Structure 1
Amino acid sequence: MTDKEQQQTDARSAGDRLVSGHVSEDPFAAAFKATRMPMIVTDPNQHDNPIIFCNAAFNKLTGYTNEEIIGQNCRILQGPESDPKAVEKMRKAIAAGEDIAVDVTNYRKDGSTFWNAVFISPVRDDSGKIIYFFASQLDFTHVKSREADLAAARHKAEEEVASQTANLRSALSAKSLLVHEVDHRVKNNLLTMASIVKMQARVTTDQGQKQALESVLNRIEALSTVQRKLFTLDDVSKFDISEFTRELVTDLVEATGRKDIHLSLDLSPVHVPAVKATPLSLVVNELVGDAVLRGLSQGGDIHVVVRRTNGHFIIVVEDTSEPIEVDKERAQFSRKLLEASALQLDAKIERTVQNRKTSVSVTVLVDVNLETTH
């Protein structure tokens, strides 16, 4: 008899002794044999801690018969996909005589795999010596399979979200590039128009025509300022009317070259939709342009306010200067342009004149949603 055959014989004998120690009416032995949970008993006092007993549920789970499994070490269930760390944990627990619960991939006789929730516990005699190891198994492959399916579905969903996000970003980027390109072309066209008007003004000898051309040029430059501001923004859907006003007003006053016109600003951030940019630029241009014109006589003070107030924002231009007589046609055109721009904005205009002080205020409804998302 070979050593292996002798070991199998010894293992069967140990198993027979274990069973013979319980009468057939022993409910614990009956339960051990009949339970649907796979169970085995190993003998650490024999070489390689062989399996000496298994129940029918274990035979059904693994595909091994009693003749094939008795005398074998539990590592017969291990294979290439068995986690070495889990195997090492079991080895160390058995060597230390400790309980261990671990999840590991095991192999059936036919080579198929299953996820095994293993619980191993030592059995001691009255003196505390370990005489057996008891191990139960639970096949939870279906749970792992559902987890894998869920993980795969989650991964697929994440990939789909990432793909859609990338598509959206690409579309937004393309849209932004398109809008910037349109703004860029509009800006260039405005500059071309301004250049043409300047050339015409230079060669015009009639003073009235020259003033009319300069008036048109002034409005074109105001629109160019708006386009330049929009073109340099990351978000072309809105812009800050205060920053625009600061730049436009400063340019208008500095263009006069007058040191006796004093400018003061009280500007709070107010973000408005880009569609309001053109009429707003004309409103600010007309208000400040009129104030500058009045200050050209003997100088004066110009105060500009942009501020939020109760769901609206208000633009106020105040100037203090000596009253001068202005060209009626020019004043009428400026007023009509101001009124038309205010109508586009659904804005309210109020004008008061008291002695040397002229105050004009324009009240515009704020887009609350735009302000909230800024």
Structure 2
Amino acid sequence: MRAAFQSLLMPVLMVDPHRENAPVAFANRALLDLTGYSQEELSGRSWHLLHMPGSGVDALTAIDAATQAGEALETGFVGRRKDGAAFECTLALSPVRDEAGRLRWATLVLTGIGSVPDPHRDVTAASWDLEEQVERRTKALQAALNRRTALLHEVEHRIKNTLQMTASLVLLKARRLRDPEARKVLQETAERVSALSAAHRLLSASGDAGRFNLQEFTAELAGELVTALPKGQVDLDLDIQPLGVPAPKATALALLLNELIGNAVKHAFPNGRRGRLTIEIGRAENGLKIAVEDDGVGLDHAPATEGSFGKTLITMLVQQLKGQLTWRDQKPGTRAEIAMPVDAQEMKFE
């Protein structure tokens, strides 16, 4: 494709519509001759560099919108050469799609090029210099942000490794204990630490260290807990919206989900009872709603949990998240519902 554009006599730009301000991927020889730039000077920079500041703002907005939407467009355009001189032309935008119909690139073809007298050339040059300074400063700030993000990922990675080691040590100690009750306490502790480790692993692996992917974490956790039962005993039904919540809530949510799902797995299906475990997570009117439901023995027949550490921990975590917890006896089965406030700006679809 580039070879075909290179041979054209009319100026052609190929830009990336998926990145902010559509950076230049390729410019043919005719465009380089028109603007005075080199391929290296344009590649990777926003194509807005070729727009004359202060002119045709509506046209520029329309071009950007069509580029992102993958739509064709033809409009008048006032461009700027490297030396600050302006030129008028007609700009034709065309989307480039792959065989599957996905938008890959956008081409900008310039025709009908003519000069524009510029009585304020010195002002234009000064404005161009200011833009260059702003762009350099922006790049420096972006580099600093990238370094900070990398550091956060490294911290999350180290926390994950530490938690994994802690869980392994606790399990090792549990296996050596003869007292079944003490062994059970340590095994449950190791499960909770493992849940925290999984949360930090997902945070470190995510492209956004400030966002916790609830869907991925819950699916992984529920799958692991259900595998502790005989194969086929319990069917797992997940209805989880692909939501991301702020990282500061990750630890409490990870522990809470571990307790709720683990409680159902351990107590709802005794003596090989078959059943279904349903987990629902999604947006609610005032934030986030979590529901864990089983069709097991129900509250009346489940082992007593009054005063248990698990129940106490669930209550504490719900309070920490400023949520409300409701237990419902489904007859058969039990349903735990949690409604917690999460600002709409804090929560987004992944």
**Structure 1 and Structure 2 fold alike (TM over 0.5):** yes
* 2:318 paired residue among 339, 342, 357: 342
Distance 1:373 1:168, change over 3 A: farther
Structure 2 gaps of 5+ residues are 1-116
Report the secondary structure of 2:178's partner residue.
coil
* TM-score (ref. length: structure 2): 0.62
Separation of aligned partners in 1, 2:187 and 2:275 = 23
Separation of aligned partners in 2, 1:265 and 1:328 = 26
The yes-or-no answer on 1:292 pairing with 2:269 is no
CA displacement at 1:192 relative to structure 2:
1.0
Q: Which residue in 1 is equivalent to 2:293?
A: 318
CA displacement at 1:373 relative to structure 2:
9.1
Structure 1 gaps of 5+ residues are 1-142
Separation of aligned partners in 2, 1:257 and 1:219 = 22
Separation of aligned partners in 2, 1:325 and 1:272 = 32
Q: Which residue in 2 is equivalent to 1:212?
A: 185
Q: Which residue in 1 is equivalent to 2:211?
A: 238
Q: Which residue in 2 is equivalent to 1:305?
A: 280
- Are the aligned partners of 2:256 and 2:318 in contact in 1 as well (CA < 8 Å)? yes
Distance 1:213 1:336, change over 3 A: same
Separation of aligned partners in 2, 1:338 and 1:237 = 24
> Deviation above 6 Å: which 4+ runs of structure 1?
none
**Correspondences of 1:96-175 after superposition (within 5 Å):** 147-175=120-148
**Correspondences of 1:1-374 after superposition (within 5 Å):** 147-294=120-267, 295-297=269-271, 298-322=273-297, 324-326=301-303, 328=305, 332-371=308-347
Letter in structure 1 aligned against 2:295: T
The Cα offsets for residues 116-137 of structure 1, whole Å up to 9 and x where unpaired, read as: xxxxxxxxxxxxxxxxxxxxxx
The Cα offsets for residues 274-325 of structure 1, whole Å up to 9 and x where unpaired, read as: 1111111111111111110122432321111112121322110111113555
CA displacement at 1:339 relative to structure 2:
1.1
- Are the aligned partners of 1:186 and 1:227 in contact in 2 as well (CA < 8 Å)? yes
- Are the aligned partners of 1:273 and 1:367 in contact in 2 as well (CA < 8 Å)? no
Separation of aligned partners in 2, 1:354 and 1:178 = 47
- Are the aligned partners of 1:270 and 1:313 in contact in 2 as well (CA < 8 Å)? no
CA displacement at 1:193 relative to structure 2:
0.3
Distance 1:232 1:257, change over 3 A: farther
* TM-score (ref. length: structure 1): 0.58
Report the secondary structure of 1:255's partner residue.
coil
The structure whose residues are more often helix, as a share, is 1
Using the aligned pairs only, state the percent identity.
33
Across the aligned residues of Structure 1 and Structure 2, the Cα RMSD in angstroms comes to 2.0
Q: How many residues align?
A: 230
The Cα offsets for residues 310-349 of structure 1, whole Å up to 9 and x where unpaired, read as: 13221101111135553657x6101111111111111110
Say which one has the larger Rg. Answer: 1
